[in-house]
Amino acid sequence: MIMLKVMEKRRSVREYKNKALDKKQVMDIVNSYDYNKALVEGVKFDFIYFEDGDNIYQILNGVVGYSGVLIKAPQYAVLLSDEKPGYLYNSGYVGEWISLKFAREDIGSCWIEVGDKDKEVKEILGITSKKRIIGLMALGYPKMDVRLSKIYDTIVDGHISPYEELGYPNIDTEFSKEPVSYRHSVEDIVYKNEFGNKMTFEEIEKSGYLDALYYMRLAPSWGNRQPWKFIIRKDGIILLIEKSTESESEMTAQIEAGIAMLYFKVAMHDLGLPGDWKNINGETDIDVPKNYFYGGIYSL
Ligand SMILES: Cc1cc2nc3c(=O)[nH]c(=O)nc-3n(C[C@H](O)[C@H](O)[C@H](O)COP(=O)(O)O)c2cc1C
């Protein structure tokens, strides 16, 4: 299956079958990544797999996940990285690459926020690595094929739910039959030459980026906040990311930038359009609004 189709079908899985994954299959997928071709060169990334999901749930629920609420899964993985420049972008990129490959094999996954609990989680799990924990990944076979939880997807509406007291400020217990959670339209996330300069659908289509942006929007993000904006210029397309808000960890936005870069690049390449991300987290000549940061430019 081409990756575009995988991007379309992937969703964060929060309900799993009570059936164990095949460890060899999981590790073969993880090890099939060419780490020399990561987004940022020379940054080591690690994936530690835990088969005893019940135990992990017992000891980490209350510590990690939105408001400390961990999703129950039959397996988990801990994602770690060297703390070198660009490591959060790189971790989002590599972690999501693995998640897409899992989705291709019908293995469900969900990113779990760890934030500043790195030391605490290492201590609980007995991890001695010097690398930084980027996040957890819940793993297993999805319980439902199309039933999609709308949990957390109401943040965009500013919807407050009665489940707030339980630590789920944005929970919505209804389930949607739609294949993916709510997404902004392409017209909402793309500008021409400068921030705020909207483009019509026809203009975006003419630019050649329409299809890639359509698929890119399907990327996962913290609380489904979809922090990405793109600026189309003659020299390429620039990614801006909205900074993390108080409720998220500061790390989140850079992880999301890496995820966005992966989705965009995979979509472009699948559509037969070459190019790569350059100048990641570098300097830019465009005016970046205060609540955004520059991620990089995608060009030939
Ligand atoms: C960096 C990051 C952290 C996330 N943390 C959590 C989490 O702690 N708990 C959770 O249930 N979902 C978490 N998610 C999943 C998002 O809620 C999900 O991607 C978003 O709601 C969009 O839904 P979708 O992935 O099904 O398209 C996280 C996603 C990202 C990218």
pTM: 0.90
Question: What is the rounded (10 degree) CA torsion for 159, 162, 163, 167?
Answer: 70
Residue 237 alpha carbon to ligand 1 centre in Å: 25
Measured in degrees and rounded to the nearest 5, phi and psi for residue 251 equal -70, -25
Residue 109 CA to ligand 1 center (angstroms) comes to 10
- CA dist 295 and 211 (Å) reads 21
Per-residue model confidence as pLDDT tens digits over 14-56: 999 999 999 999 999 999 998 777 899 999 999 999 999 999 9
Work out which ligand 1 atom sits closest to the CA atom of 64.
8
The per-residue DSSP string of 117-134 comes to: -HHHHHHHHT---SSEEE
- The pLDDT assigned to 145 comes to 60
Distance 92 CA to ligand 1 centre (A): 12
209-232 residue pLDDT tens: 999 999 999 999 999 999 999 999
Residue 175 to residue 54: CA distance in whole angstroms:
25
pLDDT in tens, 286-296: 999 999 999 99
Domain residue ranges in the chain: 3-145, 148-182, 186-217+227-299
Let me know the angle formed at the C-alpha of 264 by 258 and 266, rounded to the nearest 5 degrees: 100
Q: Which of 221, 248, 254 to mutate to test the pocket of ligand 1 (most atoms within 8 A of CB)?
A: 221
Question: Binning pLDDT at 50, 70 and 90, where does residue 180 land?
Answer: low
User: Tell me: the pLDDT tens digits for 148-173?
Assistant: 344 334 333 433 333 343 334 443 43
Q: How deeply is 136 buried, as exposed, middle or buried, from its count of CB atoms within 10 A (0-12, 13-18, 19+)?
A: buried
Summarize the confidence of residues 45-73 as an average pLDDT.
Answer: 97
- For residue 73, the model assigns a pLDDT of 98
How many other CB atoms sit within 10 Å of the CB of residue 54? Answer: 10
Q: Is the pLDDT of residue 178 over 70?
A: no
Residues 6+ apart with CB under 8 A from 88: 81, 134, 251, 254, 255, 257, 258
Ligand 1-lining residues (CB < 6 angstroms)? 11-12, 14, 65-66, 71, 110-113, 135, 152-153, 180-181, 220-224, 252, 255-256, 259
270: three-class secondary structure by DSSP? helix
3-145: CATH class: alpha beta
